[in-house]
Amino acid sequence: MQDFDYIIVGAGSAGCVLADKLSASGKHQVLLLEAGPSDRRFWVRVPIGYGISYHDAQVNWKYQSEPDPGINGRKMYFPRGKVVGGSSSINALIYHRGQANDYDDWATAGNPGWDYNSVAKIYDSFELVSKVGAEDRVLPTCSGLSVTDATASYHPLTDKFADMCEQMQMPVSRSPVMEGHSAGPYFITTRHGTRCSSAVAFLHPATNRPNLTVLTNMTAQRIGFQGRRATNVDCLYHGRETTFNAGCEVLLAAGAINSPQLLQLSGVGPQGVIRDAGLEVVLDQPNVGSHMQDHLGVNYIYKANRPTLNDILGRWSGRIFAGIEYLLRRTGPLSLSVNQFGGLVKSSPDRAFPDTQLYLNPLSYQSFYKGKRALTKPDKFSGFIMSFNSCRPVSEGHVRIRSSDPTMAPAITPNYLSAQEDVDDVIRMARLILRMQQTPAIRETLCAPPITPLDNMTDDEIVDDFRQRCSTVFHPCCTARMGPDPRTSAVNSRLKVHGIEGLRVCDASVFPNITSANTNAPTLVVAHRAAEMILADA
Ligand SMILES: Cc1cc2nc3c(=O)[nH]c(=O)nc-3n(C[C@H](O)[C@H](O)[C@H](O)COP(=O)(O)OP(=O)(O)OC[C@H]3O[C@@H](n4cnc5c(N)ncnc54)[C@H](O)[C@@H]3O)c2cc1C
């Protein structure tokens, strides 16, 4: 049994920020618990390695959803990082804040201080923006998130994508954008050609502080309470149980699947679920694990009349050349994401806000090989992908424990496409892709008709095809959402669990609504703001 002021559960995107900020003054004893191993691994550090970490049980929880009627009864594979850096150590590196109204909606839902003007200042405080090859002021070990403009290294096909957007009269930029209405090259979170996870950005520079203890392979199993005050965390380390005491607060940063799981295992959640698992109820809180939102996307594949990344990453000779380039200079396709171009656009001009996120990748993959991420097996032909997801789907799912056993994966029920609005989005957005593929810029790059014949498909056929082929974009959130009313939310705007003392949730679980783009950036902002509030309340 050891005592700390703050115990942070989960060293992911959020947990690494909390560990840095709470230990910075030297005044507080901080413990960071991580179920996975250290992130000092080759394929975690090499950007393209996310194709490998995707199925690597050593660094990935590898969850499966329940069979979901909205996707023709399929189970969805749910990778989540189980390693220092969490999902930011295995993600696809795109950096995008979303749009202002995402956060303004958080504030309007009764959460003061979460509007875009307020969070933009926080973003500005931790982003280190530079161009690839011009990162002189970013030392390999400096604190802050490297957000890199890698446009100069992107595949020439991205110029065609920009031309296409111009021909569609969509807002488009030839340099990366990180917020609002525009397509363009994506910013990525790399530093000198290696992944800049939340661990690299925030935790590693802080690890030598004497008041910060980081324990890996340490799985939190339940939070202990005295009455309704969180006081300790029981953990499992290589089969041995151990307990840590929190003098001030327990801070959950285990992510949108595991934070609600841990709350339910600790007796905080829907009472029926807790009782069915044979556990004692500390607080009946139906919103813990509910309201899960996620982005759901689909790829449309095109055969190109010119070389694409398939011609490099799909051939041994190309891979060896790219590997040598990477090892010698930290440049080339291995130093990048395959998601090189995209952004937030309107599926039709009458939409009030951009409602569609695009991913236009100079690479294609469609065959499924068990246990291999499709992108590690590019198509044999020169191909590329145009893909979309709805920015703000409204279908809600949930996460529920199945038993009192902390090692048993929770049941993840996404309820994809359960709202008609989301089905309507699919049709409108697929029709947008159809118009995109009909532009001169795209037509002149094709050597064969598009593989999915969108131009000959009815609305029903488009939806059927989507249900059959769509995939999570890996952005589950809102499973312990914030709000002023305990009847509709799990935590308040200071991220304290309603009705419980000494316990906050500080990760993607607390989003009141999903943001329009990728969720790493907003999770980092949640953690920074959480740290400010925790220190203010100390
Ligand atoms: C394959 C993939 C691709 C993605 N691509 C992108 C992208 O390109 N851009 C983007 O912005 N976002 C992307 N995301 C999403 C983004 O990375 C996540 O939204 C974000 O990292 C979530 O941060 P978090 O802190 O909430 O959770 P996580 O980063 O997942 O951290 C949770 C941590 O808690 C640990 N943990 C869980 N349970 C316990 C326990 N009981 N005890 C101790 N530790 C525990 C986990 O092991 C993990 O390290 C992607 C995600 C995935 C999985």
In the chain, where the domains are located: 2-537
DSSP sequence for 76-114: PEE--B-STTGGGGTS--EE--B-HHHHHHHHHTT-TT-
CB 76 within 8 A of CB 292: no
Report residue 349 as tokens. 């001009």
Q: Which of 370, 416, 372, 426 is nearest to 396 (CA)?
A: 416
Q: Residue-wise pLDDT tens for the chain (538 aa)?
A: 689 999 999 999 999 999 999 999 999 999 999 999 999 999 999 999 999 999 999 999 999 999 999 999 999 999 999 999 999 999 999 999 999 999 999 999 999 999 999 999 999 999 999 999 888 778 888 899 999 999 999 999 999 999 999 999 999 999 999 999 999 999 999 999 999 999 999 999 999 999 999 999 999 999 999 999 999 999 999 999 999 999 999 999 999 999 999 999 999 999 999 999 999 999 999 999 999 999 999 999 999 999 999 999 999 999 999 999 999 999 999 999 999 999 999 999 999 999 999 999 999 987 666 677 777 789 999 999 999 999 999 999 999 999 999 999 999 999 999 999 999 999 999 999 999 999 999 999 999 999 999 999 999 999 999 999 999 999 999 999 999 999 999 999 999 999 999 999 999 999 999 999 999 999 999 999 999 999 999 9
Secondary structure element (H or E) that encloses residue 290, with its range: none
Other C-beta atoms closer than 10 Å to the C-beta of 2 total 12
Q: Which residues, 6 or more positions from 275, have their beta carbon under 8 angstroms from its beta carbon?
A: 281
C-alpha distances (whole Å) from 245 to each of 30, 219, 471, 493 are 11, 15, 41, 25
CA distance linking residue 284 with residue 392, whole number of Å:
29
Instruction: Find the 80 Cα to ligand 1 centroid distance in Å.
Output: 5
DSSP sequence for 435-485: HHHTSHHHHTTBSS--SS-GGG--HHHHHHHHHHH-EE-S--B-TT-B-S-
Crossing angle (nearest 10°) for helices 100-108 and 116-126: 130
C-alpha distances (whole Å) from 309 to each of 47, 52, 83, 153 are 15, 17, 29, 12
Contact 79 CB / ligand 1 (< 6 Å): yes
CA distance linking residue 135 with residue 131, whole number of Å:
7
Model confidence, pTM = 0.97
Contact 475 CB / ligand 1 (< 6 Å): yes
Instruction: Find the 132 Cα to ligand 1 centroid distance in Å.
Output: 25
Instruction: State which amino acid sits at residue 480.
Output: A
Report residue 236 as tokens. 């499992």
CA distance linking residue 266 with residue 262, whole number of Å:
6
Instruction: Find the 253 Cα to ligand 1 centroid distance in Å.
Output: 9
Residue with tokens 């009269």: 169
The DSSP code for 163 is H
Instruction: Find the 25 Cα to ligand 1 centroid distance in Å.
Output: 27
CA distance linking residue 148 with residue 128, whole number of Å:
8
Question: Could you read off the pLDDT of 233-250 as tens digits, one per residue?
Answer: 999 999 999 999 999 999
Instruction: Find the 14 Cα to ligand 1 centroid distance in Å.
Output: 8
CB 506 within 8 A of CB 251: yes
C-alpha distances (whole Å) from 285 to each of 170, 275, 339, 370 are 44, 13, 39, 39
Closest residue to atom 1 of ligand 1, CA basis:
91
Atom of ligand 1 nearest to the CA of 82: 47
CB 475 within 8 A of CB 294: yes
User: What is the three-class DSSP state of 398?
Assistant: strand
**Residue in 474, 478, 506 to alter for ligand 1 test, most ligand atoms within 8 A of Cβ:** 474
Residue with tokens 């064969």: 448
Contact 507 CB / ligand 1 (< 6 Å): yes
Contact 518 CB / ligand 1 (< 6 Å): yes
Report residue 336 as tokens. 């990048």
CATH of domain 2-537: 3.50.50.60
CA torsion sign for 10, 11, 15, 21 is: positive
pLDDT of residue 368: 62
Contact 523 CB / ligand 1 (< 6 Å): yes
CA distance linking residue 133 with residue 490, whole number of Å:
44
* Contacts by 453-458, CB closer than 8 A, 24 or more apart: 454/300, 454/430, 457/430
Contact 266 CB / ligand 1 (< 6 Å): no
User: Within 13 Å, how many C-alpha atoms sit on residue 14's CB side?
Assistant: 29
Task: Give me the numbers of helices (H) and strands (E) for the chain, helices first please.
Answer: 15, 25
The catalytic position among 28, 291, 475, 528 is 475
Question: Could you read off the pLDDT of 62-95 as tens digits, one per residue?
Answer: 999 999 999 999 999 999 999 999 999 999 999 9
Active-site residue flag, 475:
yes
